[in-house]
Structure 1
Amino acid sequence: MVKAAVQGAQADVDADNSRTRSNAMSGGHSTYVPRTRIGRWFDARLPVPRLVHDQFIVYPVPRNLNYAYSFGGILSMMLAAQIVTGVVLAMHYAADTTLAFDSVDKITRDVNSGWLLRYLHSNGASFFFIAVYVHVSRGLYYGSYKAPRELLWVLGCTNLLLMMATAFMGYVLPWGQMSFWGATVITGFFSAIPLVGDWVQQLLLGGFAVDNPTLNRFFALHYLLPFMLAGVVILHIWALHIVGQNNPAGIDVKSETDVVDFTPHATMKDGLGAVVFLLAFAYFVFYMPNYLGHPDNYTAADPLKTPAHIVPEWYFLPFYAILRAVTFNIGPIDSKLGGVLAMFGAIAVLFFVPWLDTSKVRSAVYRPWYRRFFWLFVANALFLGWLGSKPAEGWYIPAMQVSTLYYFAFFLVVMPLLGVIETPRRLPNSISEAILEKGKE
């Protein structure tokens, strides 16, 4: 009994030492207390329960978070679903140009629950992008990119870029008409890049045309990139927990009355948001699973038959419109290269938003003019998406050009200029005061 008591006391000392080390690394004080001897033993060696408790249970979050902040959790949920369904689908998919189209059809018809896996994965990509676009829009509206959250924003933009690359690779895998010709058109634009363009195009294609090596490369990259994305997501969440969550008022936390525990307050709200999102997702999966796909992609790829109108998936349409908006040469830059630079520039400009916005006020709630320009930007982005689905002819071309001009002007002109000339509304002294003011409205 004495020996057992000594061992128990030594275990408690070891656990205390472990907690001290953990607190020193995290820079804060942990309130987690293991309640069993096994828990103390585990905590002294691998404090995963302590990490979960500190970061997802008692972690303080602003008490005024709304449902727009639920999309971070929704994105994590959708990423996990895409990885799981993708891994299972890869077990039955044949990355060969003579077999790929039929293997997708076989998955749908012959594999147990294959139809469900396929439609969860294909529609999941669309809903993944719906969630990420709402998430980005929320960040732009509430100023979640401002100091000290610049790196958090940059990591988020990196996630968006990886998502787009993954989705493009995945769109080719069914090897339908739109898959084949979409890959042909998009990879063809790389040849416009001076010096390295042809080399990059051939590296992607595995040759001089879209063929079996292209499909193998895209399958391998489509399988690999989601795991890279998951790694960057972990860094994104880590950075979020270091600098703290932004809030709709854009005000720093001043006291303990401004925050609540992550669980149950934020988890309940995130859970409800996720349920509503999943209901909409399930409706598409079970009632209209092919609605978001292109009809031509349900026909096997034919290199000798070009579709009347080649378009990417709907979530790429705004950038496709920007690509086609450049129909003129700009000095030594021809229209083809100009379109490619504009398309990639539309994504690259997002990385510099923290330094383009010169306003000291974070949230658009207190910036009346920025709020107007923001909603015009959202409407313009939707309009660009609609234009991307139309042929590059007639009045669609000048409409694409005007919309593209405003897209870039919002970041390069409106954001820097409004920070100098706009007069914001009076900011509340605290988050608690902002809540009380909102309740009086």
Structure 2
Amino acid sequence: MRAPTALTPDRTTLDLLTAAADEVRDVCGTRIGDLVRAALLRTLTRTISVDETGSVFVITGDIPAMWLRDSTTQLAPYLRFLDRSPWLADLVESVVRRQFEFIRHDPYANSFNDGPTGAHYDAEDLCADPAVWEQKYEVDSLCYPISLAHALWKSTGRTDFVDDRMHQALRAIVAQLRLEQRHDDSSYRFERTTAIPTETLTREGRGSVTAHTGMTWSGFRPSDDACTYGYNIPANLFAAQALLAVAEIADEVCDDPDLAACARALSTELQSGVEKFGIVDAPDGSSIYAYEVDGLGGVLRMDDANTPSLLSLPLIAPDVIDRRIWDATRMFVLSQDNPYWFSGSVLKGVGSPHTKTGRVWPIALAVQGLVGTPADRIRLLRMISDTDAGTGHIHESIDANDPTIFSRPWFSWAESMFCELAMAVVDDVGSTPAGR
């Protein structure tokens, strides 16, 4: 049995993180700087453990399982330091190795246990694999590890982690995304006995009916809620971007031109499917990206706080989106036309059907800032910091009228997004003190 221990960053890493927090403090004020420093250290020392073999495990904060998505996004603020901190580069490499081992084990699962412990979100789920916490198939769960691996390679030049096992996993990802272009040919099913409809799939676990569109099917959204329609547009565009990264790794690291060609071809097919089926009319008559479609006329016009979201597309799919369409989509998302846009006395922003009506997500506020103007970034950074209810933590969702009402007292993904936004403000302003 593994004996995991908490991590202790080395002096170089601590100095880098302290200096980054100090820059935030100089630009944004003491309290925001203190929140950033605490969050940067908390993610490293309280969500990540390592065993005697060097294998790492990353929890979400308040749930003792490792999500492929969260374990990537939690590390996002540290990527800018990889070229100056071998300790952080080693950590990210270890996380990438663990993520791809999970994908090799079960490419349909979204979250895993630290070994075959038998722990499950719901012990009655169809998937009884003792290593799997939950087997909700979410396309972004395959894409996030690819993006992390690509960032590690580009930032450090390291290639040793792209070994035969990871190479096999990349091939398996491309094959699975292609298989799920025709979901009824797949054996994947998810059923859960529950009164909550978003916690299970219809049609005996197959999900709602879809037509072939060239896009790839997803059972669940990045929120872990079931898709209303099978083709999630943000996930497909994220997959199209991730496949370009697979092609680049295949060409330059794996010496596998066949994999590169397959990845590029599939990326093109996903983009074509989105262009044909995923661009719809907004209430004002403009053309926008839908959130989900089924290829049979079913369209969901909305956005969710969880990424990949429509709002986040310039961050996660910059090379495959139509910026004109996205500009119109952004206006839709940040308006009352989006059914999950909430406005109250202390907060206004994007929420989620995953949480209660009227709750805004700090993750979405951070994304809104990161794709917005410098003025947007500082305004939204302050909005997030002013609504932590004095806890020193960034939460999952917050009541738009009362910041003392929130979900998840410690949500590491949200804290990392807050740190990213704060450091983007520093990038905008430089070292000039502002907004104290």
TM-score tier, shorter chain, comes to: under 0.3
Q: TM-score, normalised by structure 2?
A: 0.25
Per residue, is there more helix in 1 or in 2? 1
Per residue, is there more strand in 1 or in 2? 2
Q: Relative contact order, CA 8 A, sep 6+: which one is greater?
A: 1
